[in-house]
Amino acid sequence: MNDSSFRSGYAALVGRPNVGKSTLLNRLIGQKVAITSHKPQTTRHRILGIQTRKEGQIVYIDTPGIHDRGRQALNRYLNRAAHATLQDVDVALFVVQAGVWNREDELVLKAISQAGVGTIAVVNKIDTIHPREALLPYLADLGRRHDFLEVVPVSAKDGTQVETLEQLVFKYLPEGESIFPEDQLTDRPERFFAAELLREQIIRRYHEELPYAVTVEIERFEEEGGRYRIGAVIWVERESQRGILLGRQGQAMKEAASAARRSMEEFFQTRVHLDVWIKVKKSWSSDEASLAQLGYSD
């Protein structure tokens, strides 16, 4: 990999919540490194996904969705994390949903303009537009909103045009050596993914409001007897939320934990023993100190 044309650099995936940034990252990397759901604000941390090809290495950064909803400390942290990422990348991928433009898309575009970073507009979920020609006016309107490097329609769900997008990202990266080892896929440790896989099940299984009052902390992560023994604490903000998570005779939590364990076994490629406790930390999402203790630090 000493070819002078080898390119490497950082590409940030930015956009409002629920436009499919994490699904796109997983598709680009070819492996699950970010949890996904149909609910907004699933992504809470910047996650690196590293793609190494013969022509270069792209370090994708998945960011929390930039949003204008909620005024809690957690909301402020999520927006800070996304904005800060734009200051340190070679190219931004501005992900929007095909056929949709709203106030939060405007907020993201404003952040991109202020950062002054070269940007590829990625129009995701084109599989939802029929016939495909109906998308043309939207693409033309998007192109007039900003001086984008490229405007690329894709479907992260089925992979349409994702390889084309990858080649365009390489085009706008500087020449340089690999930033990470060739076989590395992410910068996050295994215990981070254990927490995320459990949180993913909670987001998918419980009603609209509860997942935003939940975070997961891994207290134990050990390899023992050919398997991982993992101890996880689910933090909620009120005792009533603890009851909702448990369900009748704890059945709801048993099912969520079992699904999370199976996801972990698939992800880690080994057997997993998972113990889960639910604890209350009052108003943790509104308190900066609690956020820092739970891993939400800039």
CATH code assigned at 235: 3.30.300.20
Q: Are residues 158 and 237 in the same domain?
A: no
Q: Identify which of 144, 94, 86, 152 has the alpha carbon closest to the alpha carbon of residue 119.
A: 94
- Predicted local distance difference test score (pLDDT) of residue 212: 82
d(CA 40, CA 24): 15
- Collapsed DSSP state (helix, strand, coil) of residue 156: coil
> Which residues lie closer than 8 Å to 293 by C-beta, 6 or more apart?
none
Q: Is residue 181 domain-resident?
A: no
Contact 14, 108 (CB under 8 A): yes
Q: Are residues 141 and 220 in the same domain?
A: no
DSSP 198-257: HHHHHHHHS-SSGGGG-EEEEEEEEEETTEEEEEEEEEESSHHHHHHHH-GGGHHHHHHH
CATH code assigned at 139: 3.40.50.300
Domain that includes residue 164, residue range: 7-171
Q: Are residues 13 and 129 in the same domain?
A: yes
**R_g (Cα) of the chain, nearest Å:** 20
- Predicted local distance difference test score (pLDDT) of residue 298: 61
Contact 179, 49 (CB under 8 A): no
For residue 234 the two structure tokens come to 């689910």
Q: Identify the domain boundary among 171, 198, 214.
A: 171
Q: Are residues 161 and 262 in the same domain?
A: no
Q: Is residue 298 domain-resident?
A: no
Q: Is residue 250 domain-resident?
A: yes
Residue with tokens 């398997």: 227
Contact 44, 78 (CB under 8 A): yes
Q: Is residue 178 domain-resident?
A: no
d(CA 35, CA 200): 6
pTM: 0.91
> Which residues lie closer than 8 Å to 37 by C-beta, 6 or more apart?
200, 203, 204
- Which CA distances in Å does 281 have to 236, 240, 286, 288, 290? 6, 12, 11, 13, 8
Q: Are residues 120 and 15 in the same domain?
A: yes
Q: Are residues 125 and 53 in the same domain?
A: yes
Q: Are residues 161 and 118 in the same domain?
A: yes
Q: Is residue 185 domain-resident?
A: no
Q: Is residue 2 domain-resident?
A: no
Q: Are residues 281 and 235 in the same domain?
A: yes
How many structural domains compose the chain?
2
Handedness of CA 126, 131, 136, 141 (dihedral sign): negative
d(CA 272, CA 260): 10
Q: Identify the domain boundary among 171, 204, 227.
A: 171
Q: Are residues 236 and 112 in the same domain?
A: no
How would you write the pLDDT of the chain (298 residues) with one tens digit per residue?
444 589 999 999 999 999 999 999 999 999 999 989 888 878 888 999 999 999 999 999 999 998 887 778 888 988 898 899 999 899 999 999 999 999 999 999 999 999 999 999 999 999 999 999 999 999 999 999 999 999 999 999 999 999 999 999 999 999 999 999 999 999 999 999 999 999 999 999 987 778 788 999 999 999 999 999 999 999 999 999 999 999 999 999 999 999 999 999 999 999 999 999 999 999 999 999 999 999 887 6
Q: Are residues 130 and 271 in the same domain?
A: no
What is the identity of the amino acid at 127? D
Q: Identify the domain boundary among 141, 171, 201.
A: 171
Q: Identify which of 37, 51, 48 has the alpha carbon closest to the alpha carbon of residue 13.
A: 48
Q: Is residue 137 domain-resident?
A: yes
- Predicted local distance difference test score (pLDDT) of residue 4: 57
Residue 182: phi, psi to the nearest 5?
A: -55, -35
Q: Is residue 155 domain-resident?
A: yes
